């Protein structure tokens, strides 16, 4: 009885939270704003983000602070939702925290590579200090990669980053570090699913993550191959070892010389068939498939953990869209160009 009651509560709560998401009208009205301050004022007055922004002077808030508060809202909502899910909620709360920690480590590495590691302090999410074992302020005091390792020496991230200690005179392997950290994160997801779920719940969760992994790898191949002209060995080393793309498919994608040839290869894969059905720009292909998969599951799945994870993924897409608007308006990008990058504006 308690289990059924808990399931009903989490299903109702997740769907209610999803029902308070931003609408197309919200996006259209934000695109009409002329500054970051106007966006902050709009979000505070007209959206579910009003609570987290209630004590903020929107006439003075800067981009970095606004984005931190938006991330805090989604982090806290996701963590609260996990507390209602009595079967695997506490384990997925660990995933949410580890994802946030991974993002902060990568931000610190990025600032270190840019020669200004102290700037991390200006983007540091203070709210995360209440949850993480990482000494976040220490990440803003580092001067070298060795300092970064020392700051993380009491965490499991130390062993991961130790493998990438740069040789003197060589640059930091940013992509190698990023790939290793995210492999570690998604390995945790699969461990949670395999150890703490079963039956149809497990099947749907694995399907959800496999779609996500396939899309991540597809994006990496297309971006690195056609935007950065990276070689096949480098691209292969940058892929996540999860998902349904078989080695022969990856090899064929790496050998493709044009985007048209890539699409031809995709016709023989399950994820490719879904991507090719998407009627949108290349920039939105993957996010459209992910968005539609999660929206379907949040509406029709009867499994609490599946609905919960779908909500979390959808809110990450919403945050990505809001950030695109903030960045676009900050740099005075035409509103039509910003709109072309917004997943939910096109498919909600």
DSSP assignment, residue 280?
A: S
Q: Tens of pLDDT along 111-155?
A: 999 999 999 999 999 999 999 999 999 999 999 999 999 999 999
Note whether 99 and 186 are same-domain residues.
yes
> Does pLDDT of 274 surpass 90?
no
Q: Is residue 331 part of a domain?
A: yes
Classify the C-alpha dihedral 302-308-309-315 as positive or negative.
Answer: positive
pLDDT at 268: 86
Note whether 77 and 95 are same-domain residues.
no
Note whether 75 and 162 are same-domain residues.
no
Concatenating the DSSP letter of every residue in 174-206 gives HHHHHHHHHHHHHHHHHHHHHHH--HHHHHHHH
Concatenating the DSSP letter of every residue in 136-156 gives HHHHTS--SHHHHHHHTTTST
- If you average pLDDT over every residue of the chain, what do you get? 91
166-172 contacts, C-beta under 8 A, 24 or more apart: 171/113, 172/109, 172/112, 172/113, 172/145
Q: Is residue 107 part of a domain?
A: yes
pLDDT at 2: 38
Domain that holds residue 220: 200-277
Number of structural domains found in the chain: 3
Classify the C-alpha dihedral 171-183-92-289 as positive or negative.
Answer: positive
Q: Does the reported pTM lie above 0.85?
A: yes
> Does pLDDT of 264 surpass 60?
yes
pLDDT at 89: 83
pLDDT at 3: 54
pLDDT at 345: 78
Choose one of 196, 220, 235: the last residue of a domain: 196
Note whether 161 and 68 are same-domain residues.
no
Q: Tens of pLDDT along 37-50?
A: 999 999 999 999 99
Q: Is 32 left (phi over 0), alpha (psi -120 to 50) or beta?
A: alpha
Residues 59-75 have a mean pLDDT of: 93
Q: Is residue 297 part of a domain?
A: no
CB atoms within 10 A of CB 142: 21
pLDDT at 263: 82
Q: Is residue 144 part of a domain?
A: yes
Q: Is residue 289 part of a domain?
A: no
- Supply 247's token pair: 């080695």
CA end-to-end distance (rounded Å), the chain: 36
Q: Tens of pLDDT along 192-225?
A: 999 999 999 999 999 999 999 999 999 999 899 9
> pLDDT category, 1, cuts 50, 70, 90?
very low
Q: Which residues of 207-244 are buried (b: 16+ CB within 10 A; e: fewer)?
A: ebbbbbbbbbbbebbbebbeeeebeeeebbebbbebbe
Note whether 119 and 183 are same-domain residues.
yes
Residues 304-317 have a mean pLDDT of: 93
Q: Is residue 287 part of a domain?
A: no
Alpha-carbon distance of 109 to 148, in angstroms, equals 8
C-beta separation of 188 from 209 below 8 A? no
Note whether 182 and 254 are same-domain residues.
no
Choose one of 196, 226, 255: the last residue of a domain: 196
Q: Tens of pLDDT along 2-15?
A: 356 567 788 999 99
Note whether 106 and 180 are same-domain residues.
yes
Note whether 97 and 36 are same-domain residues.
no
Q: Give the distance from CA 219 to its chain's centroid.
A: 13
Q: What are phi and psi of 220, to 5 degrees?
A: -65, -45
Q: Is residue 282 part of a domain?
A: no
Choose one of 151, 171, 196: the last residue of a domain: 196
Q: Is residue 155 part of a domain?
A: yes
């Amino acid at each position: 009885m308690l289990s059924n009651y808990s399931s009903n509560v989490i299903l109702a709560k997740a769907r209610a939270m999803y029902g308070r998401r931003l609408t197309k009208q919200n996006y259209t009205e934000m695109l009409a704003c002329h500054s970051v301050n106007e966006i902050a004022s709009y979000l505070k007055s007209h959206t579910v983000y009003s609570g987290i922004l209630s004590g903020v002077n929107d006439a003075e808030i800067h981009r970095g602070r606004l984005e931190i508060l938006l991330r805090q809202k989604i982090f806290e909502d996701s963590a609260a939702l996990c507390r209602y899910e009595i079967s695997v909620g506490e384990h997925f709360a660990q995933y949410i925290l580890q994802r946030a920690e991974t993002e902060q480590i990568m931000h610190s590495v990025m600032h270190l590579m840019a020669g200004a590691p102290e700037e991390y302090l200006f983007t540091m999410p203070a709210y995360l200090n209440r949850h993480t074992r990482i000494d976040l302020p220490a990440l803003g005091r580092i001067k070298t990669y060795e300092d970064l390792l020392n700051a993380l020496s009491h965490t499991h991230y130390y062993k991961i980053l130790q493998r990438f200690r740069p040789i003197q005179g060589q640059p930091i392997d940013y992509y190698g570090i990023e790939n290793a950290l995210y492999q570690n994160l998604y390995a945790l997801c699969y461990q949670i699913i395999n150890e703490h779920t079963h039956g149809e719940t497990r099947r749907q969760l694995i399907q959800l993550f496999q779609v996500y992994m396939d899309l991540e790898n597809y994006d990496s191949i297309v971006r690195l191959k056609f935007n950065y002209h990276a070689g096949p060995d480098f691209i292969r080393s940058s892929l996540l070892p999860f998902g349904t793309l078989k080695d022969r498919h990856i090899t064929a994608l790496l050998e493709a010389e044009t985007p048209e040839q890539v699409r031809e290869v995709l016709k023989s894969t399950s994820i490719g068939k879904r991507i090719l059905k998407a009627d949108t720009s290349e920039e939105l292909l993957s996010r459209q498939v992910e968005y539609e998969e999660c929206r379907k599951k949040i509406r029709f799945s009867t499994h609490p953990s599946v609905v919960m994870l779908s909500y979390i993924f959808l809110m990450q897409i919403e945050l990505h869209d809001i950030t695109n608007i903030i960045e676009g308006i900050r740099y005075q990008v035409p509103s039509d160009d910003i709109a072309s990058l917004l997943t939910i504006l096109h498919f909600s």
